[in-house]
Amino acid sequence: MPRDSVDKPAHIEDKLFINGEFVPSISGKKFEILDPTTDEVAASVYEAGVEDVDRAVEAAENAFPAWSELPASERAAYMLKLADALEDVVPEIGYMDAVTMGKPYVGSPVTHHSIQNLRYLAGQARDVFGETSLSTPGKLALSLRQPFGVCAAIIPWNGPLMMLINKVGAALVAGNTLVLKSSEKAPFTALIVARLCKQIGLPPGVLNILSGYGTSCGEALAKHMRVRRISFTGSVATGKLIQKASAESNLKKVALELGGKNPMLVFDDADVTLAARGATMATLINTGQGCILTTRIYVHSKIVDGFVEELKKGVAAAGEPGDPLVPGTRRGPQADQTQLRRVVGLIEDGRRNNYDIALGGKGRIGDKGCYVEPTIFVNVPEDAKVMREEVFGPVVCVTTFTDEADVIRRANDTEFGLYASVFTKDLSRAVRVAKAFEAGLVGVNCTSPAGLSEDLAFGGWKQSGSGRENGRRAVEAWTEEKSIMISL
């Protein structure tokens, strides 16, 4: 079935969204986004610069007083309207994700999950509370939680809607106004959301959306003196730059969701089929382009041969990668040539070092598009690049262990601490290992992304980030605490 069997949107928005209107950038510059399947231009979009950031921040400042004083239930009502409107554009979002970052068109379940998360965040509108105390004689002590004011968010390309919802939903329900920069690799989902915000009557300036590059637009947001909080999802290197920019400007609060090098432990009593199925999903979903996906698998030596065979079967059953716009495609290309070179480079490094390869190892598939052959390395040294660095591709390393304490040490021997998982039928061991993992998220007999829920906090330890999204305190994280003493 050809790719033109999927309808292209009648109109692809290319402007910035500032103060409730779609406007070109002040410079008039545009940049192109290439389709990673065809290497051809998918669309172009206006590029926001420093002056556009200033315009967006000013619009957010002007909107903040009225928005923050709006009853929380009314702010939540806008988010519920937005969620309903999103249901009608799932095919459009699927199309734009396919032609900009190679996500298969059938990936709409992730879109529906994101919409449900927006409804969950809206439900927290009434759940932000302060405290009172009468412990000081003659005084009433109380605390309030109030919005920061103008905030900023920078989202990545590998999950445009999900990351946008996590930040926009919580920030706006809390009473903040927001300037959001989308990824230059996948800016169109955010612009679809902007159109819907206009459609549902969201007050101008409450949400402003900019398309642009990190070195200009993103840096300007991170350094802006009138932005009070910034939330970023992306690489460790960029996260450090944002933290530095905050320190060198106004010490704005910073929340970071960064990379991962996530371990999975499979003990000898585990359900091997279940574990291999989870590993297959965590290797191939989104073509391996996810910070929470599993890339280091430690399997007990007694069952490793059977596990590797099951993993190979699972990867082979997923079939060859294909055009993400063709119905039935389960795996598309990497997002762009930069991602392709990175993943292929790590595979080639493994070949140069003669690491054992159980499956794949060829690197790039074909000479058109950004396709990579899934690769399973076996018994790779702990200091290998492919064991230490985030891959962001369909590459996984399987190695063996015999001792619980030793494998926990090896699993934790990384500067990342985002996700970890353990497969075992021993409940005591499962709890013991889960507590020992140095990670913000843990799956027991499940692995990422299946081992996630919007009502649990999401975030990492160590260099995987700071702060949390989702969970019952997701909205509260976008507020500041104020203590008040009243003389009676």
Kindly report, residue by residue over 145-155, the tens digit of the pLDDT.
999 999 999 99
Cis amide leading into 394 (omega within 30): no
Quote the CA–CA distance of 68 and 173 in Å, as a whole number: 9
Same domain, 135 and 173: yes
In this prediction, residues 430-445 reach a mean pLDDT of 98
- Give the helix/strand (H/E) hosting 189: helix 188-200
The answer on 278 and 238 residing in a single domain is no
pLDDT recorded at residue 108: 63
Instruction: Confirm whether 143 is domain-assigned.
Output: yes
pLDDT band at 453 (very low <50, low <70, confident <90, very high): confident
Q: 29-38, 125-134, 338-347 — which is least confidently predicted?
A: 125-134
H/E run at residue 132: strand 131-133
Q: Catalytic annotation on 389? A: no
Q: How confident is the model at residue 2 (pLDDT cuts 50, 70, 90)?
A: low
Strand extents, DSSP E, 439-478:
441-444, 461-462, 465-466
Residue 107 has a pLDDT of 57
**Position 459 in a domain:** no
Residues near 10 by beta carbon (within 8 Å), at least 6 away in sequence:
none
In degrees, rounded to 5, the angle at the alpha carbon of residue 221 between the alpha carbons of residues 201 and 212 is 75
CA dihedral (458, 69, 160, 91) positive or negative: positive
Q: How far apart are CA 306 and CA 17, in angstroms?
A: 53
87 Cβ contact partners less than 8 Å away, ≥ 6 residues apart: 112, 115
Average pLDDT, the chain: 95
Examine the pLDDT at 319 and tell me if it is beyond 90. Answer: no
Distance CA 339, CA 186 (A): 14
Are residues 285 and 202 part of one domain?
no
Shared-domain flag, residues 43 and 151? yes
Say which CATH number the domain at 367 has: 3.40.309.10
How wide is the angle at C-alpha 176 spanned by C-alphas 173 and 178, nearest 5°?
105
Does residue 385 belong to any structural domain of this protein?
Answer: yes
Residues 48 and 65 in one domain: yes
Residue in 438, 467, 455 with CA at minimum distance from that of residue 261:
438
Rg, Å, the chain Cα set: 23
Domain containing 436 equals 262-453
Q: Determine contact, residues 290/258, Cβ cutoff 8 Å.
A: no
Q: Of 188-202, 313-327, 392-406, give the lowest mean pLDDT range.
A: 313-327
Of residues 1 and 439, more confidently modeled: 439
Indicate if 248 and 292 belong to the same structural domain: no
Q: Classify residue 134: in a domain, yes or no.
A: yes
Name the H helices within 204-297. Answer: 219-223, 236-248, 272-284
Pair 219, 269 in one domain? no
117 HSE (CA, 13 A, CB side): 28
Give yes or no for residue 44 having a pLDDT over 70.
yes
Q: Is the pLDDT of residue 16 over 70?
A: yes
Supply the pLDDT for residue 4.
66
**pLDDT recorded at residue 454:** 83
Shared domain for 99 and 229, answered yes or no, is yes
Q: Would you place residue 429 in the very low, low, confident or very high pLDDT band (cuts 50, 70, 90)?
A: very high
In a domain, 152, yes or no: yes
- Whether 254 and 287 map to the same domain: the answer is no
- 129 or 431: which leads in pLDDT: 431
Specify if 23 maps to a domain: yes
How many Å apart are CA 33 and CA 48, to the nearest integer?
15
pLDDT in tens, 354-413: 999 999 999 999 999 999 999 999 999 999 999 999 999 999 999 999 999 999 999 999
Residues 342 and 433 in one domain: yes
The verdict on residue 286 lying in a domain is: yes
What is the tally of structural domains in the chain?
Answer: 2
Q: Are residues 195 and 87 in the same domain?
A: yes
Q: Which of 184, 219, 257, 373 is catalytic?
A: 257
**Domain match, 413 and 298 both:** yes
pLDDT of residue 247: 98
**Domain at 118, CATH number:** 3.40.605.10
Burial 450-460 (b: 16+ CB within 10 A, else e): ebbebeeebbb
Distance CA 72, CA 123 (A): 10
Question: Does the pLDDT at position 448 exceed 90?
Answer: no
Is residue 461 in a domain? Answer: no
